[in-house]
Structure 1
């Protein structure tokens, strides 16, 4: 397992990160323990959660993921695990989180951090992320910016001050962004420098063979501001395993939750997936290994977030860390990408 530094922080994270958003919905506490044990023993030191998890988020289960992680974390050496979690923003209505008070302001940041610390059974969070921007941005499958959707939001300077406070208090070590834009990365970095406040050390956005929108403006912002990518959905909700080509497998998220993952139900997604599956098999690779190895190969990716429903899936995905794609394979990937550019942005 290789380890990479997040921005200018002291965090050295494993190139694979265990995502936990199924813990408490599709996965039981026993399942969660098994996945966490396996990942840790395989050299994964990085765990990603969120206050709104599991998904789909519900009042009855919200926060359960962090509680499951906390139960496991209490039995492990705390300094050997890098724990990331997220605060929900106002871009999505979640009335059961703080009564619907989701602005990224001082009161909400302090309360959210304290709630996460309690569930995680720890004194500090290594990486605290804003799950999606406080301001309006196109997200979760929407790609066109529309000024008509603008709304009032908390200024970045005020959000930074709130985050700086919990960092000074020792409750958070570093903070990161998520589902952010290139303009957002630049603004956060500029305002932080201007005010002498902590800078973001990472950005967590979707990235996969069928969603490479990060490649252009965000990649430049990532490099110039030293804010590396934590890539989520590298298997496009499991589509890039090829197992959904005949229809959603029983028990999968697509089978259980009909309205889930709308960005992956767009034209040319199935055609692109078929092409990548065929390419993988032609080179003696599993489709999942091809997809994960590609994401890991990108220069701007610090860690690739794995989410699995079963331990068997996780084991297969972790083994992909030993796969290095040949130049020939990477060239063929670019040919497919030219035919089907970003069908699931």
Structure 2
């Protein structure tokens, strides 16, 4: 990562990091998203003919393809709003090729009363395992985050339609409904103090911004955005103060140099290498040095979503190094 050429650019970089809750999140997020979507299957449903839209802009489409990475948001979370039918299929499955078009046709006609989530079980085996699928096709109805009914094999269209109506009759009042797309959402006014802190960042006043965000977080512990911004600015300021050459020049056993090298590596979007550098210190030290290295590593973890694969892996390595 090249260093910003002036204070304004530095402020913009820090603000982007602070507002999104991690250090230089653009590159790291792309890597995480790429890893999560490696198992994604190619589209099954053909595009709508020219001039014919299947849903309004911003609307939830009636048919969505699901991967292990999107299952939580597109099935579990969505099922609080609307009934979700999960169609578990595979490209080699003959009966699937008979059932899926029926489900897709019904979903297109459902007018938002329910949506169809399609899952290629070969590309997403953990979803099939979670449902305990023994054979395909299998269709599972999800409402309010829980499976409520299911069937296997090919069924007549009228029978499937009646099955859906029966489920909606039982659980429909528990669902909030899909968000309306007819009106633009009303944007709530932001906290002027947060805006002022952001302006300080844009101007390159790291110290002023850090003080402002800290004050906001202390005043209101529920202001997670301010707390996250403060953590990120603290890191960026500390990491930018190091000589980048410390990554190669740090002497074995020099704890301060190892921690500095980890900061530089993390700022350069190398979280695995950064975490490993500190874990190596934990392995070969004891007492205050080990405690300091451990605390630094835990503070770096807080810059990221705890579910990120590189954070989970590093936590396991840390536990192994400690015990």
TM-score, normalization by structure 2 = 0.25
Larger Rg: 2
TM-score, structure 1 as length reference: 0.24
- Structure with bigger strand share is 1
